[in-house]
């Protein structure tokens, strides 16, 4: 599969690059960004941390706002940030034009409903197509971890818990923990997956975690700002804690007073998350 380079910037001794490519699973052109730390080449390969962004975001938000390059360069970690949904002519959007469904809000699921199923196959894109592309074109050593924010935190948890053994570690900032039972999740899942709530369980991290064998679960780190205006209505981290307790799984939930839902919060603790992943990727 061919890549088209659309941006190239040197930063902290490494390179930030943006690429577009034709996606087979999403049936459209997709964009992703990658940071290659200094010294990484075909003879000195590195592990990959996949970052999934939240509602309304693209591949650019994390790379421009998270301040992750310096520590990623120090630790020798490749960063990959895909777009949050398919885009382009013919890709269905929310007919009401809202921010929490359609373009920029793919929710990292495989849509089964018209007209979204033709393009919105973000679960397969993140789990299968994009990693194969990264391994083919870049000096990945085959080890990978996953992280994300909000809708992307939901995606990181779901993908990590559904693919046990494939990711060395999983972390999330302010994730939507229980989309089965929150307004964002109910709207997205109804539109992408239909009205059968039973099918939604495959994309709910609380449901998945409660049935995860403790000896198979990857290390989990969740950071939550306690001044997040979506905390009570959409995120509900206490439900994830309850699911972990039910499965006797170890979950590290860190609650940070005063922090909100923004990239000010992410940039304050991204170094901790990178170091968390580095100990398992090394």
Alpha helices in the chain (DSSP H): 60-65, 69-75, 122-124, 130-137, 151-162, 183-193, 197-200, 205-210, 237-247, 263-281
Residue 41 catalytic?
no
Residue 59 catalytic?
no
Which entry of 147, 150, 171, 205 is annotated as an active-site residue?
150
**Residue 43, SS3?**
coil
**Residue 257, SS3?**
coil
Strand partners, 121: 110
Cis peptide before 115 (omega within 30 of 0): yes
Tally Cβ neighbours within 10 Å of residue 247. 16
Residue 261 catalytic?
yes
Whole-number Å distance between alpha carbons of 220 and 167? 11
Which entry of 16, 119, 149, 261 is annotated as an active-site residue?
261
Which sign, positive or negative, has the C-alpha torsion 64, 70, 75, 76? positive
Which entry of 59, 83, 204, 228 is annotated as an active-site residue?
228
Question: Which residue numbers are catalytic?
Answer: 150, 228, 261
């Amino acid at each position: 599969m061919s890549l088209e380079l659309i941006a190239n910037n040197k930063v902290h001794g490494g390179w930030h690059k943006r690429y577009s490519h034709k996606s087979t699973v999403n049936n459209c052109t997709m964009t992703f960004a990658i940071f290659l730390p200094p010294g990484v080449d075909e003879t000195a390969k590195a592990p990959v941390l996949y970052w999934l962004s939240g509602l309304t975001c693209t591949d650019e938000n994390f790379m421009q706002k998270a301040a992750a390059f310096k520590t990623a360069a120090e630790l020798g970690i490749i960063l990959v940030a895909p777009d949050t949904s398919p885009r382009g002519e013919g890709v269905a959007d929310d007919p009401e034009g809202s921010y929490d469904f359609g373009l920029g809000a793919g929710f990292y699921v495989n849509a089964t409903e018209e007209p979204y199923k033709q393009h919105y196959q973000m679960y397969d894109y993140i789990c299968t197509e994009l990693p194969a592309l990264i391994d083919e074109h870049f000096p990945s050593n085959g080890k990978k971890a996953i992280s994300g924010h909000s809708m992307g935190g939901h995606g990181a948890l779901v993908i990590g818990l559904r693919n046990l053994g494939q990711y060395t570690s999983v972390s999330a900032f302010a994730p939507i923990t229980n989309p089965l039972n929150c307004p964002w999740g109910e709207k997205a899942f109804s539109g992408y997956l239909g009205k059968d709530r039973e099918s939604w369980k495959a994309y709910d991290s609380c449901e998945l975690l409660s049935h995860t064998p403790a000896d198979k679960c990857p290390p989990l780190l969740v950071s939550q700002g306690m001044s997040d205006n979506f905390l009570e209505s959409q995120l509900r981290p206490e439900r994830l804690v309850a699911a972990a307790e039910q499965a006797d799984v170890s979950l590290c939930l860190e609650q940070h007073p005063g922090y909100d839902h923004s990239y000010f919060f992410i940039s304050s603790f991204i170094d901790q998350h990178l170091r968390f992943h580095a100990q398992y990727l090394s």
